[in-house]
A = this chain, B = another copy of it.
Amino acid sequence: MSTLRTPDGGSTPPSAPGGSGERVIESLGESECMRLLGAERVGRLAYNGWEGPTVLPMVYKLHEGSILFHPLQGTFTEQDLRTGIAHADYVVAFEIDQIDPDARGGWAVLVVGSAHHVDTEAERASIIGAGADPWPWPEAETAHLMRIRPTRITGRRSYLATTQVDS
């Protein structure tokens, strides 16, 4: 159903749909993780909300090393990610992946960081002015904007290694 997409190439593991080799799990370097974050558009935001553990898909954009997104009104309230303490941000996780269950492989990148509310007009203008609005839709002009500043970025690629058969 899903297909393994590899933006700009480089992440395609030597997977084998019919293979029966050993599973290989490789760590991705931070630069490779950032490249994948820059190439994708949809990720998942995870946090502990007032209703418990919560995961929500987000259309995002990478901007100056931060993950930018507009929380969709109605899917969670701003309050869910407000600590109530000035300059204290909520720690959240943000994840992107491409998994192919048939090819037995894929990759995932996990970002952990503070979820910062872009509350001032100056900060918002600096982002929008830089053309970094992650959601260039009419409604996004007034929508709340959030920014995750990564404190930890990890990635993994998993595939089944196969024995090369000479022809």
Contacts and interface: CB of A to CB of B under 8 A. Distances in A.
Given A1-B5, A5-B1, A56 B108 contact: yes
Contacts of A5: 1
A112 B1 contact: no
Q: Is the interface of A mostly helix, strand, loop or mixed?
A: strand
A101 B25 contact: no
Interface residues of A, number: 47
Contacts of A7: 1
Interface stretch (A40-48, A78-86, A120-128): A40-48
Contacts of A106: 57
A158 interface: yes
A95 B48 contact: no
Given A2-B42, A23-B139, A44-B95, 12 more contacts: A1-B7, A1-B41, A46-B53, A46-B54, A48-B48, A48-B53, A55-B93, A55-B94, A55-B110, A56-B108, A57-B106, A57-B108
26 contacts: A1-B7, A1-B42, A20-B138, A23-B72, A23-B73, A23-B139, A25-B73, A25-B74, A25-B75, A44-B44, A44-B46, A44-B95, A46-B54, A48-B48, A52-B152, A53-B92, A55-B93, A55-B94, A56-B108, A57-B95, A57-B99, A59-B101, A75-B156, A75-B158, A101-B135, A137-B160
Interface of A: 1-2, 5, 7, 20, 23, 25, 40-42, 44, 46-48, 51-57, 59, 72-75, 91-95, 97, 99, 101, 104, 106, 108, 110, 112, 135, 137-139, 152, 156, 158, 160
